[in-house]
Amino acid sequence: MILHLDMDAFFASVEQLDDPSLRGRPVVVGGSGGRGVVSTASYEARRFGVHSGMPIATARKLCPGGVFLPGRRARYAELSRSVMAVLRDFSPLVEQASIDEAYLDATGTERLFGTVDRLVARIKANVRETTGGLTCSVGVAPVKFLAKICSDINKPDGVFILRPEAVDAFLCALPVRRLPGVGRRMAEQLASMGIVRVEQLRRVSAESLRARFGKWGVELHERAFGRDARQVTPEHEARSESSETTFERDTRDRAFMERILMAHAERVGASLRAQGIRGRTVTLKIKFADFHQITRSHTLSMPVASTQTLFEVGCRLLRAEPLPQPVRLLGLGLSGFDDAPVQAVLPGVFSSPGVGEVRDPAEEERRRRLDDALDAVRRRFGRAAVQRGRLFAGKERA
């Protein structure tokens, strides 16, 4: 018995929760200006055709009376942790799939919490109480991919329970487009084969699907019959942490971009330190005015989470790029959170080709202590209580 919990319009719902004046109004999270893409739209905004992934400029045309907000990642992460804690009260087998969704294996919990209907009702009530009023939708099914499909059926604030004996009938009537992994292009290819519903997909052999779609074709065949061997994995390790900004206007101002990198380094570093993890690979993301995108990465010899180190490496990667066009978007991320052996480094500085010097472990420790002190001040007095001077530099040059 697998549950999939999905928070309803999470980012927008948090904004409406914290600011009652926004309740009942179309709220779009993802950018306060005319650039960027929609992260989340409230259900009021969705009535105008606004959806996640849509350019902000398009959303503004569809919903000119909407409230457009840049988002508050720290606040969303805080409430996400509260939701995950609620789920762990009901089962130790909880797998967080994203900031606003998770799987829970409730097999064998009937003696503790009663029927699945009662269990879901208790989970939803506890989530609402713990978060101060946020709602979620829950799907229940024998396997993970079906639970995810079910959680979307009665949104918002809905429940759909798919009993084992009803799986075949449910799947046969399901459009193939609803299967996870079947995007627009694959749906078009399947339609060209006369396959629109899962019932039709079942008539095609695994060998034929492999010949057409490769390895994914075999997995698609398994899904058609309701098979999914994936278990709910309690510990889902972070693969990367990143932050990015789409500028109000394209720019070539490198000093301005370095200030943006400092802001990104602050956000990424603070998030990693809160999770107690460090990484070794710093990645710079640049999107140009023509939407061409590049990434540049450098792997350090020691795992880090300090703001200053992330900033310095990001700046060196940026300075190495000629920037043939104005820049539209700039991002900074850190990955490499595995337990790979750390290369020993002698005191002093060492060089990394194409990037420049990186300071020694003693310097990194000093930076860690500084970050810890700043983090403590912000936790007590708010994020704006203390800021690095570089963020107060002059305005962007034209």
Active site residue ranges: 101
Instruction: Order the strands of the 94-98 sheet from edge to edge.
Output: 94-98, 101-105, 2-7, 136-141, 159-161
The two structure tokens encoding residue 349: 């500085």
Torsion-angle region of 282 (φ positive above 0: left; ψ -120 to 50: alpha; else: beta) = beta
Task: Compute CA distances 325 → 76, 211, 253, 264, 308, whole Å.
Answer: 34, 42, 11, 22, 27
Q: Is 145 exposed, middle or buried (0-12, 13-18, 19+ CB in 10 A)?
A: buried
Q: What share of the chain is helix, strand, coil (3-state, %, to 5)?
A: 45, 20, 35
Report d(CA 12, CA 183) in Å as an integer: 25
Are residues 336 and 303 in contact, defined by beta-carbon separation less than 8 angstroms? Answer: yes
Number of helices (H), then strands (E), belonging to the chain: the values are 15, 14
Say if CB 87 and CB 123 are below 8 A apart: yes
**CA separation for the pair 220, 181 (Å, rounded):** 8
Residue 97: partners with Cβ closer than 8 Å, 6 or more residues away = 4, 103, 236
Compute CA 314 distance to the chain's CA centroid, rounded to the nearest angstrom.
22
DSSP string computed for 322-357: ---S-EEEEEEEEE--S-PPPPP--SS-EEETTTEE
Contacts (Cβ under 8 Å, ≥6 apart) of 319: 254
